[in-house]
Chain A
Amino acid sequence: MTTVSHRFDFVLLFDVTNGNPNGDPDAGNLPRLDPETSHGLVTDVCIKRKIRNYAEIAKHGQPGYAIYVEEGAILNEKHREAYNAVRLDDRKVSKGDGKLNPRDTLELNKLRDFMCANFFDVRTFGAVMSTGVNCGQVRGPVQLSFAQSIEPVVPLELSITRMAATNEADKKQKEGTSDDRRTENRTMGRKHIVPYGLYRAHGFVSANLAERTGFSETDIAFLWEALRNMFEHDRSAARGEMATRKLVAFEHDNALGRAPAHDLFALVVVQRKNGIEAYDIDDHRLDNLPPARRFADYRVTIKRDSVPDGVIIHELL
C-alpha cells in the first residue's frame, strides 16, 4: 500500500438548514458564533468526530480501520480473557511513579507503528501517547481548520413544549394551574437553530507526515468519501438538515507543494446570488437583500484558469 506522496489542500463547504451545527457549551448550547462578526463557527474537532463516526459505520470491523477515540460503548466488547492473560506483565511494568515510558526508541517506534497500522484516526489525525520519550506524539498528516460561515448567521431560540412531566414533583407543581387534564403536565424546553448557514472549512494533507504514519492512497480516498457523506449518518433532532455541498481538493505534484495554500483557497469563490447576478460577499448591495435561506442563494466558482503549474484541481463533490 503506497503512502500519499503528494501534498493536498482542500476546501469543504457544508450547510445547515434549521439546525444547530455545533453547540457552544459556554453559551447554553447556542450555535457557536464569532462574537465580533456574528459569523457562525464549527470547530475542527466537531468535523473530526463526524469523520471518525463515518469510519466506524462504513468500515465496521475492518482491520486497520478501528477508531481509537470512540463514541459510545462497543457492542461486541470481548470478555477480558486476553486482558487477564497479560496481567502479570502489567504488574511488572506498573512499578514506579505510575508513569510508564518505553525502554528505548525502538520500542517507542513499535508502539507507534502498531497504533498507526490499526487505527484510522491515529493514522489520519495523530494522537498523543503519554510515553515520555519526546512526548510520544504521532502527528497526523490531516490538519483541519475551524469552519466559518460565509455570511453572519442569526441563531433563533425556539421554545418547545412537552406533554409530560419528568417526575412527580414537576407534576405537583403544575397541579391546579389548568382545568384541562391534557395541559396540566406540560413542560417547556428550548432549542437553538440557525435558519440557514453555509460554512467553509479548510484542510491540509501533508505527504511528509503521511509517510511517517502510513496514511495511504486508499486512506485519502476514504477521507474524501467521509467528508462527502459524514452528515448523511449524523441525523439528530438538534442538527436539522446538514449536507456537504462542495469539496474541492488541490493536489500538488510533489510532497512540498507548488503554491501557498491560501492562494489556492482563494480560487474557490463563494458569492451571493440575486436573480441572475452574483455579488461578492463584501458587496454593499447585499445590505438590502433578504438573508440567504438555501444553497441556491449562493454561487460557488472555481477559478480553474488561474491555477498554478503543478497543481491539479479535484472537484470531489
Chain B
Amino acid sequence: MTYGVKLHVTGDFACFTRPEMKVERVSYDVMTPSAARGILEAIHWKPAIRWIVTTINVLKPIRFQSIRRNEVGHKVPAVSIKRAMNSGSLADLALFVEEDRQQRAATVLVDVAYVIEARFEMTPKASAEDNEGKHLDTFKRRARKGQCFHQPCLGTREFPARFRLVEAGEAICAPIKETRSLGFMLYDIDHERDRASLFFRAKLQDGVLQVPSPDSAQIRR
C-alpha cells in the first residue's frame, strides 16, 4: 500500500465528453476518473505502475459554455496510407477540409479547479528495480517542479491543465457545497478487454466525488 498523492489542477476550459454525446460534445459536470488518470500519466507513468484515482474534489462552481467549431468529419484510413506507401505517391493521401467539413458544437466547462487524489499499484510488468517509493518520489519531484512528459489537458488537448502538487498537510481551499447524483459516469476504458467502457454511479457529496476502487462491485462492465 503506497501513500497517495494529491494534485491540484486548474484551467480556463475543460471538456470531459459524455460517451453518449460525442458528436456535438457535451461535457460531464465533473472530471471523470479516466481523465484524472490521463493527467497523472502525463506527469509520470511507466508500464510498471497503474494509477488509481480515489477522490476528485471540485473546487469551483460547475458552469458551462457552448463553442461551435469547424471540424473534419473523417479519420485517416489506414488502407489509403498503405496504398500510398505501395505506389510511392502522396497524391491520393489528402483530406480536403471543404469536402469533409462538419460544424460541431461543444458544451464545455468553464473555469475549473480540482484536487485529484490518487494512489498507484505495481503491475505484473514491474521488474526488480521498480519499487513503490521510487515511482512515488519521481511523481512528486516532477509535479513539484512543473515537469511533465507532455502538458496534461482537461479532457481535450486544446484545454491545457495547470497543475501543482499538494504537499502532505497542506490545506486546500474547500470544495463547493453541492450534493447531488451525477448519474452514470464513465469510470475508465478497459484496455485489457477490447477497450470496453466501464461506468459507475457518481455522486457529488459536498463537492467531493468518491471513486470506487477498480475491483469494486460498483463498477458496471
| A and B assemble together | yes
Where the two chains meet, the residues of A that have a C-beta atom closer than 8 Å to any C-beta of B are 9, 24-26, 32, 34-36, 41, 43-45, 49, 66-74, 77-78, 80, 82-83, 85-86, 89-90, 93-94, 100-102, 108, 110-111, 114-115, 118, 127-131, 136, 139, 141, 143-146, 148, 202, 204, 206, 208-209, 256-263
By beta carbon, the residue of chain A nearest B89 is A82
Interface residues on B, range: 35 or more
Docked pose: A45 CA to B67 CA in angstroms: 12
Contact of B162 with A261 in the complex, beta carbons under 8 Å: yes
Interface residues of B in 63-86 (CB under 8 A from A): 63, 65-72, 75-79, 81-86
> Which stretch, B129-137, B146-154, B206-214, touches the partner chain A?
B146-154
B163 / chain A contacts, CB cutoff of 8 Å: 260
Contact of B158 with A67 in the complex, beta carbons under 8 Å: no
B149 / chain A contacts, CB cutoff of 8 Å: 206, 208-209, 256
Contact of B145 with A146 in the complex, beta carbons under 8 Å: no
Contact of A68 with B162 in the complex, beta carbons under 8 Å: no
By beta carbon, the residue of chain B nearest A43 is B69
| B33: min CB distance to chain A, Å | 19
| A276: min CB distance to chain B, Å | 33
Encode contact with A along B151-165: 1 for CB under 8 Å, 0 otherwise. 101000111101110
Docked pose: A20 CA to B145 CA in angstroms: 39
A139 / chain B contacts, CB cutoff of 8 Å: 150
Given A118-B90, A143-B151, A71 and B98 contact (CB-CB distance below 8 Å): yes
Contact of B93 with A68 in the complex, beta carbons under 8 Å: yes
Jot down 6 A-B pairs with beta carbons below 8 A, ordered by A: A45-B71, A74-B91, A86-B87, A100-B79, A146-B159, A256-B149
B114 / chain A contacts, CB cutoff of 8 Å: none
Docked pose: A226 CA to B204 CA in angstroms: 45
Docked pose: A158 CA to B9 CA in angstroms: 42
Contact of B150 with A259 in the complex, beta carbons under 8 Å: no
Contact of B94 with A67 in the complex, beta carbons under 8 Å: yes
Contact of A70 with B94 in the complex, beta carbons under 8 Å: yes
Docked pose: A89 CA to B83 CA in angstroms: 8
B62 / chain A contacts, CB cutoff of 8 Å: none
| A317: min CB distance to chain B, Å | 22
